[in-house]
Amino acid sequence: METRHDTTTGLVDRPLQNGEKDQLSMQRFEKALGAFLTYARAPLSVALQGEWGSGKTSLMNRLEASLCAGEGSQFYSVWINTWHYSLISDKNNLLSQIIEGLIEQVVNLSQKQYPEKLKHLAQEVYRVGVSLFWGLSKAAVKSAFAKVSDEAADKADEVLFGQEPEHENLDLLRRKLEALVEELLVRNRQNGIAKRGFIFFVDDLDRIEPSQAVQILEMTKNIFDIENCLFVLAIDYGVVVKGLEAKFGPQNRHNEREFRSFFDKIIQLPFQMPVNTYVIDEYLKQLLTEIGFLTETDQKPDLIEEIVRLTSLSVGTNPRSIKRLANTISFVQLLIGSQPDDQPIKQLTPNEKLLIFGLTCLQISYPEVFNLLSENPFLESWTYDFAKTLRLELSPEALSFSSSNLPAHERWEQIIEAYCKHTPYLTKNAHNILSLLREMKSIAQSDRGSLAMVLPELVELLHVTNVKSDQRAKLEINNIRVLFSLDQRLRPLLEAKLRPPFSQVERKGRMIATLRYQFISKHPNAWAGISASVAHNHLYLKVGNHLHLARIGEQETDAKAWLERNGKLELFQQAIAKIDDLRNHYPNFFYSNIPQMGLRIEKGDLVFEQAFFRVSSSTAQLYSEKYVEELANFLYDYTRLALDVAACNWMPT
């Protein structure tokens, strides 16, 4: 993939601002909430509920823009971010400083509108606010009073620290605020000004300590429960529940009413962010195009539909999660394109992009499952022994069946299903996890062959964006020594199996990279090769050969078309069926290439290449009696089958 300088390589995670296009089709919800607030009888509070990143702040920004900004707007806007206050405030002073911030904005707006006429009422509000500021430093309080007038600041010491504040000041403060707001709005009506109230936007209440969030809710209810004041609060019911546990104990069916009664007393309209209704097609398309992952030729409906499908099974429709996904994809594509100068830049096919996208979705949403794949990325090779290392309760009999009506050799589904029972979150999402991997399997089969062939490479690629570091010892082998030791164990077993048409088995060639066995018969195609390598910290054993089926001439270029034209396509399909039967008979061996893709024309010869692989975690496992015996059986049966395929009449009749 080529790296272009005009392509964005990262996306900023920030809420929508005024005037930015809404790409999630939130307009009707925004319009309905705006109308509700416009005609609501105040005082009233609306709670915007939703997980982090679900768009609460974006919605508040857009409501503020439509209701409080511009000429003729009907409300003054008071905005406060409680999380920002929590980062710079002492825990004991957080409540006081937030209330001070709200009051300060009301006073400043009033003073700005009518500097002299509302001066006295503004001073009264600050004077009565002593009870809220008590406990702060003298300098901080005096500074707050100085914002009203120099006279108020001069008298601050006498007012604040000369005597203890009276207990009734909280109620008195509410009445003073009410008088200030009412006088402001009366003068607005007299002067033909449209502003008829305040909307308080209180953001990120769900990001601070739940008990403090509850205190802020109670205090705002007591102080600002006045005419012409509306509140829009980013607060989830679950936060309120946690904040009230000290008072009511852990929530259960016996005390649920107490929790709900508190919430209902503060909140008159709960609004759940409709993340499940977000239309993310265009949103995803724009983000992935912006980072250069999708080109103009990629933007086909079926590809976008598959991307949406993979996203829905993982990160869902949460805008923040989607942006994080896009940022990871942005980095991975740059990593793929960062080849040495003397090597060509890899151009990804649409299906390769889908596989990278799908695995990134898995890594972000279900990191535990991604870490499981990191331990053994050869997913189709998972066995009962691997399940035991994960301490999963699965019998060998259970692993021979599939709960999803898929072929029995795909034991990975049951292992993942059992693994998901470790945590409630994975249990809840087990269906989506399996569906995501099945989607990737289908994509791999339509392009490069099998998920087993591409998954290890992709897992290795995404290691650099994984949260968990790889602490495993690096597996290293000496190829010649491994093949020599394997030959010492393997050849006696092969010789004991010899039956016609095989009369003898010989090791051919130098044993450097490949261990090649030639079975003596009348046909030269009776051979198979074995190679060993380390791939993704596992020992990877490859078994296969290539067969010369017929001499068809160098003018031919399409092998399948030649078969069909000469009436040999059915013969080839019968050969494939036999290879599939062999594969199913040996569930620990997997296709290294899909059989249909092994047919090609090479220098005028019709050639068929087929390979299988077997994975082990160590050389000790490779040399075990059970492993070597199974390898000998497979090697013999595969060579016998290859001879049958090669001996067929492939020449035109």
d(CA 544, CA 591): 10
> Where are the extended beta strands (E) located within 155-245?
198-203, 229-234
Distance CA 273, CA 19 (A): 20
Residue carrying structure tokens 């929508």 = 16
Helix axes 479-497, 625-647, angle to 10 degrees: 70
The string of pLDDT tens digits covering residues 369-380 is: 998 888 888 887
Q: Are 637 and 536 in contact (CB under 8 A)?
A: no
Q: What percent of the chain has pLDDT over 90?
A: 27
Cβ(60)–Cβ(46) below 8 Å: no
Residues 336, 340, 345, CA angle at the centre, nearest 5°? Answer: 45
Identify the residue with better confidence: 70 or 435. Answer: 435
pLDDT of residue 406: 46
Whole-angstrom distance, CA of residue 402 vs CA of residue 130? 70
Once rounded to an integer, what is the mean pLDDT over residues 307-336?
A: 86
Rounded to whole angstroms, how far apart are CA atoms 429 and 490? 45
Q: What pLDDT sits at residue 246?
A: 86
- Residue bearing the bigger pLDDT, 405 or 610: 610
On average, the pLDDT of the chain sits at 81
What's the pLDDT tens digit per position in 507-516? 988 877 889 9
Are 543 and 635 contacting, i.e. CB atoms less than 8 angstroms apart? yes
- Average pLDDT for residues 260-281, to the nearest whole number? 82
CB 448 within 8 A of CB 591: no
pLDDT digits (tens, 9 = 90+) for 614-636: 888 788 888 999 999 999 999 99
Tell whether the model's pLDDT for residue 168 goes beyond 50: no
CB within 8 Å of 252: residues ≥ 6 apart: none
What does the block give as tokens for 539? 């020992």
SS3 labels along 273-334: CCHHHCCCHHHHHHHHHHCCCCCCCCCCHHHHHHHHHHHHCCCCCCHHHHHHHHHHHHHHHH
Of 26-30, 140-144, 556-560, which one has max mean pLDDT?
Answer: 556-560
Q: Helices 367-375 and 451-462 sit at what angle, rounded to 10 degrees?
A: 110
Task: Tell me the backbone φ, ψ of residue 375, rounded to 5 degrees.
Answer: -65, -40
- Three-state SS string across 206-227, please? HHCCHHHHHHHHHHHHHHHCCC
Give the separation between CA 3 and CA 9, rounded to whole angstroms. Answer: 10
Which range among 71-80, 118-127, 400-409, 430-439 shows the weakest confidence by mean pLDDT? 400-409
Q: Which range scores top for mean pLDDT: 35-39, 159-163, 281-285, 394-398? A: 35-39
Give me the residue label for tokens 């265009």. 282
Output the pLDDT for position 155.
Answer: 45
**What is the pLDDT at residue 588?**
84
Average pLDDT of the residues in 232-237: 87
Residue 584 and residue 578: Cα distance in Å, rounded? Answer: 10
Say what the pLDDT of residue 407 is: 52
5 or 608: which leads in pLDDT: 608
Average pLDDT value for residue range 11-20: 51
Classify the phi-psi angles of 514: left when phi > 0, otherwise alpha if psi is within -120 to 50, otherwise beta.
beta
Q: How confident is the model at residue 22 (pLDDT cuts 50, 70, 90)?
A: low
Residue with tokens 């690096």, as numbered in its chain: 474
Q: List the chain domain ranges.
A: 30-272, 277-465, 479-647
Residue 632: the pLDDT is 95
What are the tens digits of pLDDT across the range 177-221?
888 889 899 999 999 998 999 999 999 888 888 888 888 888 888
Q: How far apart are CA 539 and CA 616, in angstroms?
A: 5
Mean pLDDT value of segment 341-361: 82
CA pair distance 628, 362, nearest whole angstrom: 35
Matching residue, tokens 């909307």: 199
How many CB atoms lie under 10 A from the CB of residue 512?
9
